[in-house]
Structure 1
Amino acid sequence: MNPHLVELRELKVAFDGVPVLHGIDLTVGHGEALGLVGESGCGKSVTWLAALGLLPGKASVSGSVRIEGRELCGGPRQILEGVRGGRIAMIFQDPSSSLNPVLRIGRQITEALALHRGLHGQAAKAEALRLMDMVGIPDARRRFDLYSHEFSGGQCQRLMIAMALAGEPDLLIADEPTTALDATIQAQILDLLIQLRAETDMATVFISHDLGAVSQVCERVCVMYAGRIVEQGSIGQLFAEPRHPYTRGLFDAIPRIDGPRNRLIPIPGTVPNPKKLPSGCAFSPRCAHAEDACSWQRPELETLEDGRRLACFSPVAIARAAAVRQKILEDV
């Protein structure tokens, strides 16, 4: 068996000639839960839309996308159509924009079952009801013939998950699936994703800007900034000692409800325009630890002694700064 379910190598995307992804390298293992975090516009969603061939015609995509060693990027459309839904499924943050408002929910799920598993009639209906029960839709049999507007936002997201599961995918990409939901429903959806992964051994990519949610669902995390991965490691590594200044900035901006009430530390500056990226490290204009080389040379993503990957010229300074900050917080 191939050690990786999905491999992205040097994946690049440009819109109307403007690069927005600059060579993404990442892997997803069989049954693994991978988190992809970063500010809005950093390229998280574009990465997987490009991998599945779902970007508009003005997008230019290059690089390699492989599922168990089989190349998808640049291949025949029939190959991608066989992968979407059947091998890799994707759910989005706003289910109301994905569900068809003029078709009954039962029909939408059974259409997915017919397409990916060849089920029709009573067999398809029975399986659709089973999926609705699995994702926690109460009284599924009665609600099978309702429309999407007759369900709450959280239930619509559960229905989207049911439709994604209809093809029995090896990988589920959850693109900020809890953003539009209140805190209680968010927790329920996260618990559902964890439960489904445990029951089906399905790999998961969880795209989010919510580090707390990522810590609950994922085992490994990739941090993205301006179309590049800047840090990658296990949940334990990144949450115990984030090494990249951007990763540290994301953690500093999280409000705390336990312990002393400290002022939040925002990341200074703004995300750069893709048309006017700095010649060196894209984060250097906002970085308190920037060195001379950062302004003209871009750091490569390198593997450190602890196994994590980091694209930064001053990881030692960052680690020291983190240790000093932790001591200050402990002394407060």
Structure 2
Amino acid sequence: MVSNLVELRDLKVAFDGVQVLHGIDLDVRRGEAIGLVGESGCGKSVTWLAALGLLPGKATVTGSVRVDGQEILGSARPVLEGVRGKRIAMIFQDPSSSLNPVLRIGRQITEALAIHRGLFGAAAGSEALRLMDMVGIPDARRRFDLFPHEFSGGQCQRLMIAMALAGEPDLLVADEPTTALDATIQAQILDLLIELRAETGMATIFISHDLGAVSQVCERACVMYAGRIVEQGAIEALFESPQHPYTRGLFDAIPRLDGPRDRLIPIPGIVPHPQDMPDGCAFSPRCFNVAMDCRIRMPDLRSTADGRVLACHHPVGTTRRLAMHALETAS
């Protein structure tokens, strides 16, 4: 019996021969919520675009992607079309570029219902209105025939979620769904995702830069850097004691509203370009805890005593701020 809904194994992606994803292993259990966090360029979105066969033709994708034990990577188009939308749905960070500006909203939702569930006519219209109500679109019947530009940014994102739900997916991949929304609307979208997961039982992949948002929505988090998972574990463990220096750096760059005021400590430098990767650990040029072996050998992803997985030669625990202050004093 297959215990996982989705299994990614050694998933790699290259564009024109340049490797951008370096062997992602990830299991998604039914009904769980997983956060993918990291800076832009770390490979979060590429991972799921590759898994669903949505990357452009110049991309070379290898490895394994299994849905309920069935291999879909490299499968024929009919197989992929049976997975996209119906088994795994994806909502993108910019709804204005995903919604068709010349088609009315009702038409776009009923089209998804026709493709994924075979609903047409009055049955499709009734179900579309139900989905619009479910995601919190006020006065759905009147707004059914409006165009996307007649909705606010937050409402457009809700409509994208309604379209994703049209196929009754087992897994919803939310790719930074709160980007460019104000704080109040962001909170509403996060609450909606939590409510929908509880109501439908679907699993959720939440891709975000916002660790606070991930902690609200998810039970487990994967921290990605330069096309690799560098730390993965339960939300509570990662927040209480992040072990990888990169994870520690992400937390220390978050403004805190509780406790004494303290200066934020940014992570120096930027994510390396895939064509200019350093030897050894990709994070070593930016790491405050770097040692000689870090610059020579890439650390393996290994399991730890508390149930997380970690790729680091020298885990740091909670010592980040002390170490950074010591570095600054020495310099």
Provide TM-score, normalisation by structure 1.
0.96
**What residue number does 2:329 align with?**
none
Which whole-Å CA distance do the structure 1 matches of 2:87 and 2:313 have between them?
39
Q: Is 1:178 the counterpart of 2:178 in the alignment?
A: yes
**What residue number does 2:153 align with?**
153
Task: State the Cα RMSD in Å.
Answer: 1.2
For the Cα contact (< 8 Å) 2:65–2:71, is it kept in 1? yes
Which whole-Å CA distance do the structure 1 matches of 2:263 and 2:318 have between them?
21
**What residue number does 1:100 align with?**
100
1:1-332 matches, cutoff 5 A: 1-315=1-315, 318-319=316-317, 321-322=319-320
Shift of residue 312, structure 1, vs aligned partner: 0.3
SS at match of 1:214: helix
Which whole-Å CA distance do the structure 2 matches of 1:252 and 1:26 have between them?
26
For the Cα contact (< 8 Å) 1:7–1:67, is it kept in 2? yes
For the Cα contact (< 8 Å) 1:241–1:322, is it kept in 2? no
Identity of matched residues, %: 77
- Choose 130-139 or 261-270, whichever is displaced more: 261-270
For the Cα contact (< 8 Å) 2:252–2:321, is it kept in 1? no
Shift of residue 268, structure 1, vs aligned partner: 1.2
Which string of whole-angstrom CA distances, capped at 9 and with x for unpartnered residues, describes residues 220-271 of structure 1? 0000000000000000010000000000000000011222221110111221
Aligned length: 324
Provide TM-score, normalisation by structure 2.
0.96
Which whole-Å CA distance do the structure 2 matches of 1:41 and 1:118 have between them?
38
Letter in 2 for 1:246: Y
Which whole-Å CA distance do the structure 2 matches of 1:216 and 1:250 have between them?
17
Unaligned ranges ≥5, structure 1: none
For the Cα contact (< 8 Å) 1:11–1:22, is it kept in 2? yes
Runs of 4+ in 1 over 6 A off after TM superposition: none
Which string of whole-angstrom CA distances, capped at 9 and with x for unpartnered residues, describes residues 60-98 of structure 1? 000000001100111112111110000000001110000
Which whole-Å CA distance do the structure 2 matches of 1:322 and 1:146 have between them?
52
- Choose 74-83 or 129-138, whichever is displaced more: 74-83
SS at match of 2:215: helix
For the Cα contact (< 8 Å) 2:90–2:172, is it kept in 1? yes
SS at match of 1:60: strand
Letter in 1 for 2:17: G
SS at match of 1:106: helix
Unaligned ranges ≥5, structure 2: 327-331
